[in-house]
Amino acid sequence: MKAELQAGNSSSVSLQNPNLFPTSQSSISGALQGCLSSIDGACIERLLLHCANALERNDVTLAQQVMWVLNNVASSTGDPNQRLASYFLKPLILKASRVYPASINVNDSSGGDESFQRRPMSVTELARYVDLIPWYRFGFCASNGAILKAIQGFSRVHVLDFSITHCMQWPTLIDELSKLNEGVPTLRISVLSWRPRVPPSLNAPVQEVGQRLSNFAKFKDVPFEFNVIELTGLPHDQSSSDHLHYDLLIRLLMNDLSTLKIRDDEALVVNCQNWLRYIPDDRKMGNSSEIPSCRDCFLDMIKSINPCIVTVVDEDCDIGASSGLSSRITTCFNYLWIPFDALETFLPKHSLQRIEYESDFGQKIENFIGFEGVKRIEIFESTSKLSQRMVNNGFSSVAFCEDTIKEIKLLLDEHASGWGMKKDGDMLLLTWKGHNSVYASAWVPQRLTELEPWENSMLH
């Protein structure tokens, strides 16, 4: 657990049963016995890892014992350590119940709290959700800055929006376009008719979102068109894997690029906000060679349509498809303490806003820890791995301009003092108390950067 979280939450939790693990009757390690009198973040992490190791060794007795301790510590309305522990405990219990169905009683280890049922948000609630911490707005601001710079001089702009945030990025871009001195371009935004079933969820159809954007653009005197790319052939069975949806999605797009409705007279922008991590990255062997992953095929498709800019924003976490349970717990625990700790700085323990926000991260934790293989729908990669992937797929990075950096700093000034920003090459990183959380990057196909200046200008 990061030192900042331990220092910021000095209260400890006393266990009700200090004799739970008598040395003669339990295989629990001496190191864990030393932290049973008070529980902090570091000890919770050790308990989680001890539970994972017990499950991997098929030691049902030890797994039950550690879960009992975690059950007495975890609370979805406690301090950040307790709240985080409650979301890790649930998938561990479910994983144990699948391994030892006759030995684990799920109802006996609920983390001390009733299950919280997440409801879809209204558009207004989603706007407040996005504004709560800069987790999303940082990427919106950085991407919009890169887009505005890339489309200078164009009279028509087409944005292909691959994101999970229901177009919450675009009102700010529309507002910025309305202020351009050299003339307001026509803006066309295209979104897919399908998105992964992940938070945040909205109780309005995509067509209603488009109508709201159209009304706002009209108010701002920005010529606007909203297009929904209907994808026929995707399964409608909600129980089917998103992994399979993406596999079919990429095939549909690559086989018929006309569905994207690209026009030669438009500056083409591809926006990927928290999107790549949902595209499977598993590679398979064909008859004579390795078949590229779905993620690489998606990027190859993007390069083939020759965009003037590609923006990629995601969480700076490294949890690969083959990561083991213990590795996932360590990485996830030491990354997702950030939103739990940040929300502690300004929202009370029983705040519905806070509980809802944390429950969305809890869904992420449950998927990370509770599932393996294709059932684990999020595959993260760090900034360095993303950079290497983009280069390998024929893209070059683009630096963010100083105006964009100033805008991001102004944005962060609206939030708690723990938020900051730093550079990593051409990338920008959102930080909490110095630790990386979200990265923003901009890319162009390498063939554009290899052109002579006069050739590049001809494209405009």
308: amino acid identity, one letter: C
Asked whether 166 and 202 are in contact (CB, 8 A), the reply is yes
The reported pLDDT for the residue numbered 266 is: 96
**DSSP letter string, 158-195:** EEEEEESSTTTTHHHHHHHHHT-TT-PPEEEEEEES--
Looking at residue 115, what is its pLDDT? 52
Distance (Å, rounded) from C-alpha 183 to C-alpha 442? 24
How far is Cα of residue 396 from the mean position of the Cα atoms in its chain? 23
pLDDT for the residue 107: 44
Q: For strand 224-229 and strand 186-192, is the pairing parallel, antiparallel, or unpaired?
A: parallel
Per-residue model confidence as pLDDT tens digits over 285-313: 555 667 788 899 899 999 999 999 999 99
Closest residue by Cα to residue 408 from 435, 380, 429, 386 = 429
User: Encoding tokens for residue 221?
Assistant: 């005197």
In the chain, which residues have pLDDT < 50? 1-27, 29-31, 106-114, 237-241, 244, 451-460
Residue 233 φ/ψ region, left for φ over 0, alpha for ψ in the -120 to 50 degree band, beta for the rest: left
Given this model, what pLDDT does residue 309 score?
98
For residue 426, give the DSSP letter: T
CB 266 within 8 A of CB 154: yes
The predicted pLDDT at position 37 comes to 52
How far, in Å, CA of 285 to CA of 202, rounded? 39
- C-beta separation of 346 from 416 below 8 A: yes
Show the DSSP H helices in 20-59 as ranges. Answer: 30-33, 41-56
User: pLDDT value at position 248?
Assistant: 66
Residue written as tokens 């494209």? 459
Tokens representing residue 255 in the block:
């086989």
Residue with structure tokens 């308990």? 47
- pLDDT, residue 28, reads 52
Q: What is the value of pTM for the model shown?
A: 0.86
Grouping H, G, I as helix, E, B as strand and the rest as coil, residue 393 is coil
Tokens of 428: 């920008």
CB-based contacts of 157, cutoff 8 Å, min separation 6? 151, 185, 186, 187, 188, 266, 267, 269
pLDDT at 196: 84
| 76 alpha carbon, distance to own chain's centre | 21
